[in-house]
Amino acid sequence: MALPPTVSGAKPLLGHTVEFLRNPDALVERGLREHGTIFSVKLPGRPGVVLLGPDHASFLFKETDKRLSIKDAYPFFLHMFGRAYFLAEQDEYRRQRDILLPQFSGKHIAGHIDLMDRKANEFIDNLPDQGEFDLVEAFGPLIIDITASSFLGEDVAAKFDGFFATFKRFSEGMDPILPGWFPAPHLIRSHRARDLLRKKSKQLIEDRRRNPLPEPDFLQTLSTAIYADTKEPVPDEVLVAMVLMLVWVGHETTVSHLSWAVIDLLRNPHERTKIENEETLDAKTLHRMENLDRALHETERLHPVTNGVVRKAVEDIEYDGHTIPKGAIVVLHPGKSHRLDEVFPDPHEYNPDRFIGQKKPALYGFGGGFHRCLGENFAYTEMKVIVTRLFQRLDLELIDTDPQPAKGQANNWPQSPCRVRYRKLEGHQDSGEKGTDGRCGEHQASSIHS
């Protein structure tokens, strides 16, 4: 059997590399038209195999940690985080996952709701009565503040001068082509930011050990973590790497998803009305927030936060009448998988009601299988709080009415400028006041669902 058919447009020597890095959506769209839901692209030194749709997704997730490797597929993460979490060997990864998993239970996530709500209200309180802001630029510091405060302690971002800017420099290390040791300016900036973040994270861990809280929080639990099998303390370098990965992933994915969610709802006011008429913002009503939940799933479908769920073949694989050779990069493309007519009728239309009755929609924005993102429910909860408060307290209008996804292989953020014009709604109580039922005039608060 042979490699899956190759998409057209390969250049001498470089193959599809430039297009794969700059405009992967166009490359994948052409491959789908020419060959269907499995095809190959030419990359330096090895082929890439692109998979689309739920059947191929099931194969990729089933074979992960067997014939497909996740840790070998993301070499640029090694110089950013070291061998932590899915970058570690399989046994070590499972030990670390067992430590983190309880912290993302529904009970623990519900414990962060008040903090999320307070931060969202503070963000709105600090805005002038009217004006404009760029969604990505505004949501970036807000999300990293919430994430860092939830995982590392209240207001840690405020105590660390330049916290958000440091994480932005750290993110420049996401380079799938250049090796981590290459002295490119963006990699040098990323390494310096990484070293500073590691230093600060270790200081936070050591300080919490010296000054434990009466009621342990996430950081305290992590700082005293032991491996379940050996009962030995988790090494500090592993704890630091876990901290960095949690904060970084929580920021990178949520800013993108939240920005697109607000855009989608502003473009579709009838759906915005549905979520404004849901229950009050209350942890006890989580399971009833179906309209907002479906709206966020539809945003995940149309604008998945990643351009590819990537694995590397560790042996030759015979699959679907083709050979995936050892060393090949295997990519599940969520954006195109989420827009297949046979999976989602009218795939380019924004229609949250398509998810009515679907408990587990075929979406891959947060990965899938054993490695599906642990923080997915945390992110959805965080977004629901923020969306609720924004639409409850602000009259919003898109200035840039046709925002496009940023080009390249980074997370799928809207490309700036992506601005909204706002006006604070009159008659709304400020964040320190409560109504008799938590509602606010015609703009009722939505709740959240973990």
Q: Computed from CA positions of residues 224, 229, 235, 237, in that sequence, does the dihedral angle turn out positive or negative? A: negative
The CB density around residue 66, as the number of other CB atoms within 10 Å, is 10
Question: Residues 146-178: pLDDT tens digits?
Answer: 999 998 888 787 778 788 889 889 989 988 878
Q: How far apart are CA 87 and CA 78, in angstroms?
A: 7
CA angle at residue 48 from 366 to 177, to 5 degrees? 80
pLDDT band at 420 (very low <50, low <70, confident <90, very high): very high
pLDDT in tens, 50-67: 999 999 999 999 999 999
**Longest Cα–Cα distance in the chain:** 69
> Does position 413 have pLDDT exceeding 90, yes or no?
no
Please provide the average confidence, as pLDDT, over all residues in the chain: 88
Judged against a pLDDT cut of 60, whether residue 313 lies above it is answered with: yes
The CA distances from residue 184 to 21, 177, 179, 222, in Å, are 17, 12, 10, 34
Residue 286 or residue 293, greater confidence? 293
The pLDDT of residue 450: 32
* pLDDT for res 408: 63
pTM attached to this predicted model: 0.90
Cα–Cα distance measured from residue 397 to residue 63, given in angstroms and rounded to the nearest whole number: 45
CB 384 within 8 A of CB 296: yes
- Asked if residue 122 has pLDDT above 60, the reply is yes
Q: How confident is the model at residue 435 (pLDDT cuts 50, 70, 90)?
A: very low
> Taking 80 as the threshold, does the pLDDT of residue 127 lie above it?
yes
The answer to whether residue 48 scores a pLDDT higher than 60 is yes
Beta bridge partners of 322: 319
pLDDT in tens, 341-391: 999 999 999 999 999 987 777 899 899 998 888 889 999 999 999 999 999
pLDDT of residue 410: 59
The span from the CA of 5 to the CA of 307, in Å, is 21
Residue 117, CA distances (Å) to 41, 252, 294, 381, 432 in order: 45, 20, 21, 10, 11
Whether the Cβ atoms of residue 245 and residue 85 lie closer than 8 Å to each other? yes
Give the residue with greater pLDDT, 277 vs 173: 173
The answer on pLDDT for 406 being more than 60 is: yes
Token duo for residue 325: 């050779």
H/E stretch holding 160 = none
- Taken in order of first residue, the domains within the chain and their CATH numbers are 17-424 (1.10.630.10)
Check pLDDT > 90 for residue 446: no
pLDDT attached to residue 153: 86
Q: With 50 as the cut, is the pLDDT of residue 184 above it?
A: yes
| Rama region for 427: left / alpha / beta (φ>0; ψ in -120 to 50; rest) | left
Distance of CA 343 to the CA centre of its chain: 23
